[in-house]
A and B are shown apart, each in its own frame.
Chain A
Amino acid sequence: MQLQPKLIALQLLHLRNPALGEGLEEEMERDPRVCVMGEDVGHYGGSYKVTKGLATKFGDLRVLDTPIAENSFTGMGIGAAMTGLRPVVEGMNMGFLLLAFNQISNNCGMLHYTSGGQFTIPIVIRGPGGVGRQLGAEHSQRLESYFQSIPGIQMVACSTPYNAKGLMKAAIRSENPVILFEHVLLYNLKERIPDEDYICNLEEAELVRPGEDITILTYSRMRYHVMQAAKTLVNKGYDPEVIDIRSLKPFDLYTIGNSVKKTHRVLIVEECMRTGGIGASLTAAITENFHDYLDAPVMCLSSQDVPTPYAGTLEEWTVVQPAQIVTAVEQLCQ
């Protein structure tokens, strides 16, 4: 198969977030049941320009500007999904979706089960989250930890233009409700992506860098901090294997397990909070399943359990920095 990569920079002429927007547009063309709803997604083009141009192309009934009412428009998306529509609900910032927690937990996640399989909820809930540049505590939240226990939903986190488009398309095509976590600071990445139609597997992790010494598990923005640390580590003579777990629920324990069996050491680097975060669940899952293969306890580097401060220096210390990753690897590999 000849891949015909196209340069993302050309797409940037449209001043729209290319990968996610393209993924959305292709799916909307492919299936007339796909619609987008959220605040300022239509005429404004989306607060991060993900949906720019879609309203002009598909009309107001398929790209819906909602009032600021997360609880009800998420509920409406779920109700529409029960009839067979495939809405993509955007939270302008993931943190705002806390207002819709009841709808996401009880209706989105549970209706397939409590109706004995009668209704499916093929909805995609997406939005940017994570710590940005001094956005303040309420706009820097990581909701993966809050949603991870909800039965019936799938959670994925994208980190590159390639997997962003692939995961977006896969999430829309999936019959299950999927929450797609994007990151505020990753919208400006550039990458060549194939011309052809492709999707990424929702339950699969991505091997970013093969290695022998230690398995570093990460997702979303921390992937870039890990890769930065990896450069330093390679110079120091280490050979880290970096895996972007991508699928936050369920974990791809197959890929992760194979890596652990090879390297025998695990470091988890995440932006989630220390308490009850994705890292905490992943640590438990690895310890439970691969205990015999570990030469050292699983180490997890997470954000501090504090509201994200405004001051730049403090904000930097809230999240994991490459230097800390290097120290942790050195410690684990002693």
Chain B
Amino acid sequence: MALSRLNCFSSRSANLLKTLSSAISLRRPISTDTTPIIVETSVPFTSHQCEAPSRSVETNPKELLTFFRDMALMRRMEIAADSLYKAKLIRGFCHLYDGQEAVAVGMEAAITKKDCIITAYRDHCTFVARGGTLLEVFAELMGRQAGCSRGKGGSMHFYKKDSNFYGGHGIVGAQVPLGCGLAFAQKYSKDENVSFALYGDGAANQGQLFEALNISALWDLPAILVCENNHYGMGTAEWRAAKSPAYYKRGDYVPGLKVDGMDALAVKQACKFAKEHALKNGPIILEMDTYRYHGHSMSDPGSTYRTRDEISGVRQERDPIERIRKLILSHDLATEKDLKDIEKEVRKEVDDAIAQAKESPMPEPSELFTNVYVKGLGVESFGADRKEVRATLP
């Protein structure tokens, strides 16, 4: 279904070129090839109170291969986290993102690191997309010093300040007002960047969302609310929790766009559109129609409220990595073997990171009391008892 400039070559000459180039090994490395390719999204966008962007997305071989690699990395990372959890190296809550990788990857492709992203507790892959390393992920999950939050946050509290990733929040919906606050700060500093506040279909029913949306629309803030609709709020299907599951329409006076969240290119197009819109006209809602293969968290088998057939059906028909794989293969951007090699590479990277993370020590006992208050005030928290009094402020 793809319109491709490469198709203007006949398949015979393409094959000839390939044979020639592999023979002479002067083949241009695909990973730096930025020849534009136009691809159509799986489904057209549905819009509310705005004009939907075009279904034709411009991409290039480099981007597609980056998508493939990044999503394969995320997928592998989440599956490895699953095994680590079962081996009791990760404790507590662990919410996995496999199936939803296209949202993280597509969004990143449309924006810069100066734009802010804030999300809820299903944050491992968003953190990696923002530039977090695998070591930081696994070390934090295992509660070690090398973790991104020094082992004190855990799975639900990943943050990366230097790439404007604001976490990582455990309470459903509480991150949306924070995200609008980020947008407010951007408007205050007049820096032409936007904030993406991600939440799920469960959080879409939180009142604070509408409060924040009202304020954002009132003050014209560059806030983009992204509903990652994986159709289940833990064990409750969306039709049992929401009278109107058209989350992109819930903004009423705020425009909305419904996007196929399993198609990284559609996500990219939508985010690009949303960024332009938000900078000119204020908030917009994006609803990403996506799916999670795992249960809500590692304590949830994920099969008591949905059938295994449904899960495997989605995996077969809509898997984001498979879509990109098919796209790459149909455009002859790489061979099956190349892609398998990438997957092997990625697997090794993940395994290495886990091994390295396991070497990282647990936090020192003194870490219990650091970062409760900002240092420099002379306040170390040992409860209400404090024996020293002097502190000077700037």
Please tell me which one of the listed residues A76, A173, A254 contacts residue B178 in the complex, with CB atoms under 8 A apart. A76
For the complex, give the distance between the alpha carbons of A75 and B391 in Å: 29
Q: Is B17 an interface residue (CB 8 A)?
A: no
A80 touches B182 (CB 8 A): yes
Is B148 located at the chain interface by the 8 A CB criterion? Answer: yes
Q: A80-B185, A170-B393, A203-B386 are in contact. Are A113 and B170 (CB under 8 A)?
A: no
B174 A103 Cβ-Cβ under 8 A: yes
Q: Does B88 contact A (CB under 8 A)?
A: no
Identify which of A69, A175, A250 contacts B384 (C-beta below 8 A).
A250
Q: CB-CB contacts of A113-150 with B at 8 A, as 1s and 0s?
A: 11111111000000000000000000000000000000
Across the interface, which residues of A come within 8 angstroms of B147, CB to CB?
116
A174 to B, closest residue via Cβ: B393
Q: Which of A17-25, A82-90, A312-320 contacts B (4 or more CB under 8 A)?
A: A82-90
Contacts of B176 in A (CB 8 A): 72, 75
Cβ A114 vs Cβ B376 within 8 A: no
Q: Distance (Å) between the CB of A283 and the closest chain B CB?
A: 11
Closest residue of B by beta carbon distance from A37 = B184
Q: Is the CB of A120 within 8 A of B385?
A: no
Contacts of A253 in B (CB 8 A): 384-387
Contacts of A227-257 to chain B: CB distance below 8 A: 249-255
Closest residue of chain A to B374 (Cβ to Cβ) is A175
Tell me the bound Cα distance from A302 to B101 in angstroms: 56
The answer to whether A309 has its CB under 8 Å from any CB of chain B is no
Find out whether the CB atom of A83 lies under 8 angstroms from the CB atom of B185: yes
| Residues of chain A from 212 to 240 with CB closer than 8 A to chain B in the complex | none
Which of B212, B214, B374 lies in contact with A75, CB distance below 8 A?
B212
Q: Quick check: is B211 within 8 A (CB to CB) of the other chain?
A: yes
- Proximity string of chain B (99-142) to chain A, C-beta cutoff 8 Å, 1 when within and 0 when not: 00000000000000000101000000000000000000000000
Interface residues of B in 363-381 (CB under 8 A from A): 370-374, 376-377, 379, 381
Q: How far is B133's CA from A198's CA once the two chains are assembled, in angstroms?
A: 46
CB of B377 within 8 A of CB of A175, answer: yes
Q: Contact at B161–A84, with CB atoms within 8 Å?
A: no
Q: How close is A151's CB to chain B, nearest CB, in angstroms?
A: 6
Cα distance A30–B362 in the bound complex, in angstroms: 43
B174 to chain A, nearest CB (A): 6
Q: How many Å from the CB of B238 to the closest CB on chain A?
A: 23
Check B166 for interface membership: any CB of A closer than 8 A. Answer: yes
| Known contacts A107-B174, A254-B388; A67 and B180 CB within 8 A of each other | no
- Say yes or no for A154: interface residue by CB 8 A criterion: yes
Q: Which residue of A lies closest to B165 (CB)?
A: A118
Quick check: is B149 within 8 A (CB to CB) of the other chain? Answer: yes
Residue B159 is within 8 A (CB to CB) of chain A in the complex: yes
Task: Check A74–B168 contact: CB distance below 8 A.
Answer: no
Does B69 touch A at the CB level, under 8 Å? Answer: no
Determine whether the beta carbon of A69 is less than 8 Å from that of B161.
Answer: no
CB of B179 within 8 Å of the partner chain: yes
Contact yes or no, B188 A35, CB < 8 A:
yes
Query: Nearest Cβ in chain B — how far from A23, in angstroms?
Result: 13
Q: Does B153 contact A (CB under 8 A)?
A: yes
Question: Out of A76, A119, A176, A250, which one reaches B184, CB within 8 Å?
Answer: A76
In angstroms, Cα B116 to Cα A79, docked, is 11
Q: Which of B182, B185, B389 contacts A252 (CB 8 A)?
A: B389
Residue-by-residue, is B202-219 near A (CB-CB < 8 Å gives 1, otherwise 0)? 000001100110110011
Q: Which of A102, A115, A174 has most chain B Cβ within 10 Å?
A: A115
A199 and B393 form a contact (CB under 8 A): yes
Least distance between A83 CB and chain B CB atoms (Å)? 4
Asked if A181 lies at the interface with its beta carbon under 8 angstroms from chain B, I say no
B177 near A115 (CB under 8 angstroms)?
A: no
Cα-based distance from A154 to B218 in the complex (angstroms): 32
Name the residue of chain A whose CB is nearest to the CB of B373. Answer: A176
Residues of A near B186 (CB, < 8 A) are: 83
Q: Does A106 contact B373, Cβ atoms closer than 8 Å?
A: no
In the complex, B157 has a CB within 8 A of chain A: yes
- A66 beta carbon closer than 8 Å to chain B: yes
Name A163-204 residues within 8 Å CB distance of B: 170, 173-176, 199, 201-204
Does B169 have its Cβ within 8 Å of any Cβ on chain A? yes
Chain A hits for B215, CB < 8 A: 66-67, 69, 72-73, 76
The residues of A that contact B160 with a CB separation of less than 8 Å are: 118
Residues of B within 8 A of A (CB): 116, 118, 147-154, 157, 159-161, 166-171, 174, 176-182, 184-189, 207-208, 211-212, 214-215, 218-219, 370-374, 376-377, 379, 381, 384-391, 393-394
Residues of A within 8 A of B (CB): 35, 61, 64, 66-67, 69, 71-85, 102-103, 106-107, 111-120, 151-152, 154, 170, 173-176, 199, 201-204, 249-255, 281, 285, 288-289
Q: Write 20 A-B pairs (CB below 8 A) sorted by A numbering.
A: A35-B188, A67-B218, A69-B212, A71-B208, A74-B177, A75-B178, A75-B212, A76-B177, A79-B118, A79-B179, A102-B174, A114-B157, A114-B167, A116-B149, A116-B150, A151-B372, A203-B389, A250-B381, A250-B386, A288-B385
* Contacts A107-B169, A154-B379 known; 19 new A-B pairs at CB < 8 A: A35-B188, A69-B208, A69-B212, A73-B211, A75-B176, A79-B166, A80-B182, A82-B166, A83-B186, A106-B171, A113-B372, A114-B152, A115-B159, A115-B167, A175-B377, A176-B377, A201-B393, A202-B377, A203-B386
